[in-house]
Amino acid sequence: MIRFEGVTKMYGSNVGLEDATIRIKKGDFVFLVGPSGAGKSTLIKLILKEIEPDEGSIFVNGQDITHLSNREIPALRRNIGMVFQDFRLLPHKTVYENVAFAMEVVQSTQRAMRRQIPLVLSIMGISDKADQFPAELSAGEQQRVAIARALINNPMMLIADEPTGNLDPDTAWEIMKLINQINRRGTTVLMVTHAKDIVDRMGKRVVAIDKGKIVRDAWGGEYGYDD
């Protein structure tokens, strides 16, 4: 699904990522942990082709994306659903419209939208919020909308950048159960997090990065930091 081979990314003289080699198979659930500025964001940006690596090769879905033209980037991103700590919903659109927005972008028909959106909203447990605006929702509900938006186009992979960072522990755990469910349906999940208790409790594969280097990659791993 995702393969990094000896990938290095420098920001001037600062190390973003150094000689990173990692394999994530289809259906995997991977936590990406490490202190702030360790290179977690760099890794995600490289997958999304927001930045170019200096050395090494990156493969997504068997395709070499190390050098991709601007024209080919949208197709890559349509295979990856993104979820952020700050939800990134459009405030002037309703829940339904926020999700529909992602379908408009890939030029789905209105019919397909009317069929699929209610389905995804019901999986996320927010069917009754369809006509509400993000500001009227709780943080947990907003994150559910964001996940619904990330999944609406059936991506092969879900990348979540600290999805529980703005949530209280109970709500965070609800969101984790949802993400786990999504993973069980076959979607690969890569989740950046600082939440020690979640990592420890889920018992999934943990990849730790420190100062741009992958320092640990273990199944059923623990968070392993005290920050």
Partner 1 sequence: MIRSLRYSLTQATVQVFRNKGMSLASIFSITAMLLILGLFFFISVNINIATEKAKQQFNTIEVYLLEETTRQDADVIAQSLLSMDEISGVVYVSKEDAMQAFKQRWGEKSYLLDGLADNPLPNALRVELADLEDGRLVYEACRNLIGVEDVRFYQEEVSKILTITDFIQKGALIVIVFLIIVSVIVVSNTVKLTVMARQREIMIMKYVGATNWFIRGPLLAEGMMIGCISAFIALGLTWLIYARIVNLFATQALLLFSSSFVEVGFMMKNLSWIFIALGASIGAFGSILSMRRFLNA
Task: Please report whether residue 36 would count as binding partner 1 according to CB under 8 A.
Answer: no
Per-residue binding string, partner 1, 93-112, x by CB under 8 A, is --------xx-xxxx-x---
Summary count for the chain: helices (H), strands (E): 7, 10
Identify the CA nearest to 208 among candidates 196, 198, 220, 218.
Answer: 218
Per-residue binding string, partner 1, 153-172, x by CB under 8 A, is x-------------------
Q: Are 3 and 59 in contact (CB under 8 A)?
A: yes
Scan for tokens 């940006």, then name that residue.
Answer: 45
Task: Please report whether residue 90 would count as binding partner 1 according to CB under 8 A.
Answer: yes
Cα 103 → chain centroid: 18
Residue 124: CB partners within 8 Å, gap ≥ 6?
Answer: 144, 145, 147, 148, 178
CB of 224 to partner 1, least distance (A): 30
Q: Which of 52, 75, 136, 168 binds partner 1 (CB under 8 A)?
A: 75
Per-residue binding string, partner 1, 168-207, x by CB under 8 A, is ----------------------------------------
Q: 153: which 2 tokens?
A: 């186009």
Per-residue binding string, partner 1, 117-156, x by CB under 8 A, is --------------------------------xx--x---
Interatomic CA distance for residues 18 and 212, integer angstroms: 5
Q: Are 190 and 158 in contact (CB under 8 A)?
A: yes
Task: Please report whether residue 77 would count as binding partner 1 according to CB under 8 A.
Answer: yes
Site for partner 1, rule CB under 8 A: 48, 70-71, 74-79, 82, 88, 90, 101-102, 104-107, 109, 149-150, 153
